[in-house]
């Protein structure tokens, strides 16, 4: 029994020795990193901030959650009218997998879009009547018709689009950009997430999470209430002076813990407490739209005056971009139109079209579009065949990962361009297929980041947003 007790004591002493000495080594390394980069985390492979000259300083990502129908918005297929209600040819489907929602259908009738298309801009791009405001900025945007993805269902698809993996747990794009480039404004988060819309697919916090990166790089979700960030206001009975004294005492305790344990997450905790304190002043001023001009509200629409709407979030995104926030992610829910698509897509287009175009015009007017990269994208596309019952005025569309349309603007992307093509049924890509990893690699390139070099070691290997894939799509660059 005595021998067992001595052995246990020796094990405890060994653990204590290793913990204390590891903390010393860790603190030495941490001090060096803090001196060199101002960040309590492993040094990155980016030299002097960038791998090469950047065209964009920031990204505004307009995520249309639920997957908008490319056939009813951007991918004009006039010949489909003569195939309307006929069966999708086997030569087009090619035995490709279906979701569980339509796999049991005995018939796959083609549903031509019931919406009118017209040509717009100097490029003569065909666009749907559902997007009259976006049509006016046709020469500013680059429409990509040949996106495709690995996932066939919403959650893995939107996770893949945002993190480069269909499996949850990886860092989001905004977190990678925060990790690689850091902040331009010490009083605001580097990465902000905004949500709007109702119904459809749920939005999980992990979509703006930092995964295995230091938690200081996770996105801060702004809420729709008068207090945009949770616990931003002081509790009743606590004034600013008391709050400052409390944080000073808490910071001292955390510093003592950091000296003992050498855990970089403690340093992150210290910096985030300080950021939260500064945000008590910066965020209320940021979220106060009352000083915006009547011309601005005319541009974005009346709903921009209502906190939490897509229009208000687009205006807030411009204000965040002005203040140096690196990555601004807007999610708008409701685009999942398996049934009653004509009615529902009209509503969603009405909710988003004007404010989306207004954001581009506003950025351009302020001289910010050149160095702000804007992305408009859903997680996949929609099938040409009808899901459910089709009538003269109604049809639905199932998930379609084989091809979908997105657009990008500003920040080094080529304006007015159309990239990629699909077949006559918008079912298969016929020209310039563009995988998600290539899109993400190109976004990083615009920011001056070599996607192959921005890495983080986790569980014995180096990870990156594009994993082992991705090539920069140079034809998209201006």
Nearest-CA neighbor of 358 among 307, 310, 287? 310
pLDDT for residue 24 is more than 70: no
How much is the pLDDT for 270? Answer: 65
- pLDDT exceeds cutoff 90 at 284: no
Alpha carbon distance 4, 14 (integer Å): 15
Average pLDDT over residues 92-98: 89
Which of residues 30 and 151 earns the better pLDDT score?
Answer: 151
Identify which has the larger pLDDT, 399 or 260.
399
Give the residue with greater pLDDT, 180 vs 228.
180
Report pTM: 0.84
pLDDT band per the 50, 70, 90 thresholds, residue 314:
very high
What is the model's pLDDT at position 57? 96
Of 40-44, 52-56, 192-196, the one with minimum mean pLDDT is 40-44
The predicted pLDDT at position 14 comes to 40
pLDDT tens string 345-385: 999 999 999 999 999 999 999 999 999 999 999 999 999 99
What pLDDT score does 121 carry? Answer: 95
- Give CA–CA dist 85/391, Å, rounded: 9
Q: What is the pLDDT of residue 233?
A: 66
293 or 230, which is more confident?
Answer: 293
Residue 464: phi, psi to the nearest 5? -150, 170
Return left, alpha or beta for 123; rule: phi > 0 is left, psi -120 to 50 is alpha, else beta.
alpha
Return phi, psi of residue 182, to 5°: 75, -170
Mean pLDDT over each residue of the chain, to the nearest integer: 86
* Predicted pLDDT at 428: 97
* Residue range 53-71: mean pLDDT, rounded: 97
- 3-state secondary structure labels for all residues of the chain: CHHHHHHHHHHHHHHHHHHHHHHHHHHHHHHHHHHHHCCCCCCCCCCCCCCCCCCCCEEEEEEECCCCCHHHCCCCCCCHHHHCCCECCHHHHCCCCCCCCCCCCCCCEECCCCCCEEEECCCCEEEECCCHHHHHCCCCEEEEEEEECCCCCHHHHHHHHHHCCCCCCCCCHHHHHHHHHCCCCCCCCCEEEEEECCCCCCCCHHHHCCCCCCHHHCCEEECCCCCCCCCCCCCCCCCHHHHHHHHHHHHHHHHHHHHHHCCHHHHHHHHHHHHHHHHHHHHHHHHCCCCCCHHHHHHHCHHHHCCCCHHHHHHHHHHHHHCCCCEEEEEECCCCCCCCHHHHHHHHHHHHHHHHHHHHHHHHHCCCHHHEEEEEECCCEEEEEECCCCCCCCCCEEEECCCEEEEEECCCECCCCEECEECCCCCCEEECCEEHHHHHHHHHHHCCCCCCCCCEEECCEEECCCCCCCCCCHHHEC
How distant, in Å, are the alpha carbons of 38, 160, 330, 401 from that of 154? 38, 10, 17, 10
For residue 420, is pLDDT > 70? yes
Q: In the predicted model, is pLDDT for residue 145 greater than 90?
A: yes
Least confident of 204-208, 280-284, 467-471: 280-284
What is the distance between the alpha carbons of residues 270 and 250, in angstroms, rounded to a whole number?
8
Task: Tell me how far the alpha carbon of residue 417 is from its chain's centroid.
Answer: 22
- What's the pLDDT at 446? 97
Report percent pLDDT > 90 for the chain: 68
* For helices 264-287 and 310-322, angle between their N-to-C axes, nearest 10 degrees: 110
CA distance 431 to 89: 20
CA distance 472 to 449: 11
Above 50 in pLDDT, residue 66? yes
Q: pLDDT digits over 222-265, tens only? A: 877 666 665 566 677 667 676 666 666 676 777 777 777 777 77
* Share above pLDDT 70 across residues of the chain, in percent, rounded to a whole number: 82
State residue 23's pLDDT score: 41
pLDDT per residue over 422-455, tens digit each?
999 999 999 999 999 999 999 999 999 999 999 9
Whole-number pLDDT of residue 292: 93
Q: What is the pLDDT of residue 119?
A: 97
């Amino acid at each position: 029994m005595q021998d067992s007790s001595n052995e246990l004591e020796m094990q405890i002493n060994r653990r204590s020795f290793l913990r204390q000495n590891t903390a010393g080594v860790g603190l030495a390394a941490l001090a060096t990193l803090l001196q060199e980069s101002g960040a309590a985390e492993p040094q990155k492979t980016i030299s002097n901030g960038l791998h090469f000259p950047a065209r964009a300083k920031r990204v505004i990502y307009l995520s249309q959650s639920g997957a908008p129908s490319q056939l009813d918005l951007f991918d004009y297929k006039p010949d489909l009218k003569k195939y309307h209600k006929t069966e999708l040819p086997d030569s087009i489907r090619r035995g490709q997998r279906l979701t569980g929602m339509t796999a049991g259908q005995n018939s796959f009738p083609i549903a031509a879009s019931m919406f009118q298309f017209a040509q717009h801009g100097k490029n003569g791009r065909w666009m749907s009547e559902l997007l009259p405001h976006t049509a006016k900025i046709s020469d500013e945007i680059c429409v990509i018709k040949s996106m495709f993805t690995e996932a066939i269902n919403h959650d893995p698809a939107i996770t893949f689009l945002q993190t480069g993996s269909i499996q949850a747990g990886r860092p989001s794009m905004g977190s990678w950009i925060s990790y690689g480039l850091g902040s331009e404004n010490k009083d605001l988060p580097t990465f902000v997430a905004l949500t709007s819309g109702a119904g459809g697919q749920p939005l999980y916090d992990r979509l703006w999470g930092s995964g295995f990166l230091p938690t200081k790089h996770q996105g801060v979700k702004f809420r729709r209430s008068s207090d945009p960030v949770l616990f931003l206001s002081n509790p009743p009975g606590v004034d600013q002076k008391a709050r400052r004294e409390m944080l000073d005492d808490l910071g001292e305790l955390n510093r003592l813990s950091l000296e003992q344990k050498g855990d970089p997450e403690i340093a992150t905790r210290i910096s985030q407490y300080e950021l939260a304190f500064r945000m008590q002043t910066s965020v209320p001023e940021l979220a106060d739209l009352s000083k915006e001009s009547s011309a601005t509200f005319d541009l974005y629409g009346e709903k921009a005056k209502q906190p939490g709407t897509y229009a208000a979030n687009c205006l807030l995104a411009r204000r965040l971009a002005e203040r140096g926030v690196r990555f601004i992610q807007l999610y708008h829910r409701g685009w999942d139109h398996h049934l009653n698509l004509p009615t529902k897509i009209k509503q969603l287009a009405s909710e988003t079209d004007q404010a989306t175009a207004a954001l581009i015009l506003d950025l351009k007017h302020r001289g910010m579009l050149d160095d702000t990269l804007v992305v408009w994208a859903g997680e996949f596309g929609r099938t040409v065949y009808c899901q459910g019952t089709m009538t003269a005025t109604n049809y639905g569309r199932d998930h379609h990962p084989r091809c979908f349309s997105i657009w990008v603007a500003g920040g080094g992307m080529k304006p007015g361009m159309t990239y990629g093509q699909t077949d006559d049924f918008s079912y298969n890509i016929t020209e310039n297929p563009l995988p998600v990893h290539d899109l993400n690699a190109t976004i990083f390139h615009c920011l001056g980041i070599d996607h192959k070099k921005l890495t983080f070691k986790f569980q014995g290997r180096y990870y990156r947003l594009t994993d082992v894939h991705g090539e920069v799509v140079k034809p998209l660059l201006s």
